Structure 1
């Protein structure tokens, strides 16, 4: 599945599944993120991705219970580079619920990358997944706003600068107007 997207500023992008061959690119892109973006992603100081983390983030993606998508922006020559990754991981003990995480390069934040990725991620979610259960940093306003756009929210304190968020997902995922899929 490859989908086309346009960001808020009109930038053209493609969204496709993260592949095992993307392992080193994920590692390299993570190194370019600010300390704040890294901490918001993992709710802890994680200066570098370990091999074990990459095993989980890349190698364990199965496209069913662990879906991960990359957004690549295109220039006028249709050459692009990845600027964001979103993932949804279904809980084994709660098959109707999943966690979500989105990481966007600092220079591309607040431009609609997360919105485009989440719209496509919700389309790709496993049948029967009707809730998102996740924990976010209380000061991560961008993530909280993103989760509010997904559906009805319940937010509860979860300890030191953390919030647990439950989102009831709609049948039809929200998001910007999308082009038809352009791949197999």
Structure 2
């Protein structure tokens, strides 16, 4: 696990993700990671936006990121994506642990995470790590988690 670097763009775009994994991350059917996503990673500034990647050999197998809320600077949105062959192996848990430690040092005391209601693995993971995280139903059918750090 290490900080995302500018040279990681192609590695992230090349992550091995099924259509279901892509749908669960981007909430839309897409055959590959959208170009706009790679562009947002180019705006990592290590304060309001940061990301960590998990690397196996030379392959990026996971990424976790936060983006600070401009109107509530103590709150940030969390997103995690793990390549299919590496799911359920602790990659997301380790990425999120490292990222939340960074967020705390930068004055962030809460995270938000949007999770599709049928993404039982993500919901279970949130429940294990943050048993007191509250979820509300969003307009698009997703669950909106508020996670205190």
In angstroms, what is the RMSD of aligned CA positions? 1.6
Q: Which residue number in structure 2 is paired with residue 94 of structure 1?
A: 72
Task: For structure 1, list consecutive stretches of 5 or more residues without a partner in the other structure.
Answer: 1-14, 74-78, 170-184
Task: Please tell me whether residue 105 in structure 1 is matched to residue 91 in structure 2.
Answer: no
Bigger radius of gyration:
1
CA distance in 2, matches of 1:96, 1:160: 25
Does structure 1 retain, via aligned residues, the 8 Å contact 2:22–2:33? Answer: no
Normalising by structure 1, report the TM-score: 0.74
Compute the displacement of 1:88 (Å): 1.0
Quick one: which of 46, 57, 60 aligns to 1:63? 46
Q: Which residue number in structure 2 is paired with residue 179 of structure 1?
A: none
- Residue by residue over 1:104-160, the C-alpha shift from the partner in whole angstroms, topping out at 9 and shown as x without a partner, is 111111110011111111111153211112211001112212222135211111134
Compute the displacement of 1:23 (Å): 1.1
Compute the displacement of 1:51 (Å): 3.5
User: Taking structure 1 as reference, are residues 49 and 62 closer, same or farther at Cα in structure 2, changes over 3 Å only?
Assistant: same
SS in 1 for 2:14: helix
Does structure 2 retain, via aligned residues, the 8 Å contact 1:139–1:161? Answer: no
Task: For structure 2, list consecutive stretches of 5 or more residues without a partner in the other structure.
Answer: none
Aligned residues: 147
- Residue by residue over 1:6-46, the C-alpha shift from the partner in whole angstroms, topping out at 9 and shown as x without a partner, is xxxxxxxxx111111111111121xx310110011011112
Quick one: which of 31, 35, 46 aligns to 2:30? 46
CA distance in 1, matches of 2:54, 2:34: 23
CA distance in 1, matches of 2:139, 2:61: 31
Q: Which residue number in structure 2 is paired with residue 178 of structure 1?
A: none
Which protein has greater RCO, CA pairs closer than 8 Å, 6+ apart? Answer: 1
Q: Which residue number in structure 1 is paired with residue 21 of structure 2?
A: 37
Structure with bigger helix share is 2
Normalising by structure 2, report the TM-score: 0.90
Q: Which residue number in structure 1 is paired with residue 93 of structure 2?
A: 115
